[in-house]
Amino acid sequence: MRFGTRHHLKRLNLALLLSLALFWAGPGWAEAPPAGEASWFIDMQRFAAGAHGKLSCAECHPAQEKANTSGPLAKRHPDAQDAKYLTASALRGYDYGQCKRCHRVAWERYNQGVHAAALKKGDLTKSGKQPAPVCANCHDPHYGKARRDRVELGRQQTVICGACHPAQAATYLEDYHGQAGDKLGWDQSAFCSDCHGAHDCRSLQKPQQAAKACQRCHPAATPRFAQYVVHPTTVDLGPEDAAKRQRVYLIWALGAVLSVFAACVVGFLYGHSFLWILRELQHKLRRHGK
């Protein structure tokens, strides 16, 4: 064994560098494209392990000349001869009418909901907002797993819904439902879709509508009970939400006043105790010195 030679050392360094490079790049290769950035290229091993793993490609991607459904999600299959084919968005270009064949209820609810309505209005990117999500923004069609537990799905909702609604996600996480459900993993707590619905995604502005959502877990809930503000934020509030805006301001005002009060009380007492200890120490040390 002539391990210490210059030759071996060079090899060792090379191996080290290579493994470092792999270590750095590895996670990037291993991870799925995040929801919303679907790729044209499919990892068939991971596809086979997913919920749709038993389906053949053609069951969801038939060769078609025109969309087989109507509505905002219906799209023509892109022309494979087109030079721009692979640079177009795989996620936005798919004809989600195909999903309807197996997921009829979800399809119908989506089309009755606010995201479909927003898509119908047109390209929201012009107004500076994200375009409304389509099926694959939330559901990874190739790698998504089936039969996941409530908490795992709920935590994913906080991330995915929160990508476009960050103020709502942040306030949810400060609320008891988010603390117990998302943070501490209690499956009986409420996650985004438990109140807003998974596919119609109602904003629950009307008290009657909100009370119905509350009643799923709180049977005695009334419209007045539903005045509870789960998301104390003024982001996205319109002129019709004046009542909620007032409540949010009241909540913020009380929080500010109480925080100032707490800072004064605690600050005074900490200073008082600190001075006191210094004085007693001085007293003791002086007596000790005599």
Kindly list the residues in this chain that would bind another protein in the complex (CB under 8 A): 173, 176, 179-181, 183-186, 188-189, 218, 220-222, 224-229, 232, 247, 250-251, 254-255, 258-259, 261-262, 265-266, 269-270, 272-273, 275-281, 283-284
Which is closer to another protein, CB of 47 or CB of 186?
186
**Based on CB atoms, which residue is closest to another protein, 118 or 221?**
221
Residue 212 CB, shortest distance to another protein, in Å, is: 14
Please give the full DSSP string across 48-95, using - where no structure is assigned. HHSTTTTS-HHHHS---SS-SS-STT--PPP-TT-TTGGGS-HHHHS-
Would the CA dihedral through 176, 182, 187, 190 be positive or negative? Answer: positive
Q: The tokens of 18 are what?
A: 């290579």
Which residue from 81, 82, 76, 93 is spatially nearest to 40, judged by alpha carbons? 93
Q: How far is Cα 235 from Cα 241, in angstroms, rounded to an integer?
A: 11
**Whose Cβ is closer to another protein: residue 132's or residue 226's?**
226
Sign of the dihedral defined by the CA atoms of residues 50, 51, 56, 62, in that order: negative
Least distance to another protein from the beta carbon of 204, Å?
A: 13
Q: Which is nearer to another protein, 13 or 227 (CB)?
A: 227
Question: Least distance to another protein from the beta carbon of 166, Å?
Answer: 16
Could you tell me the smallest distance in angstroms from the CB atom of residue 216 to another protein?
13
Instruction: State the minimum distance, in angstroms, from the CB of residue 263 to another protein.
Output: 10
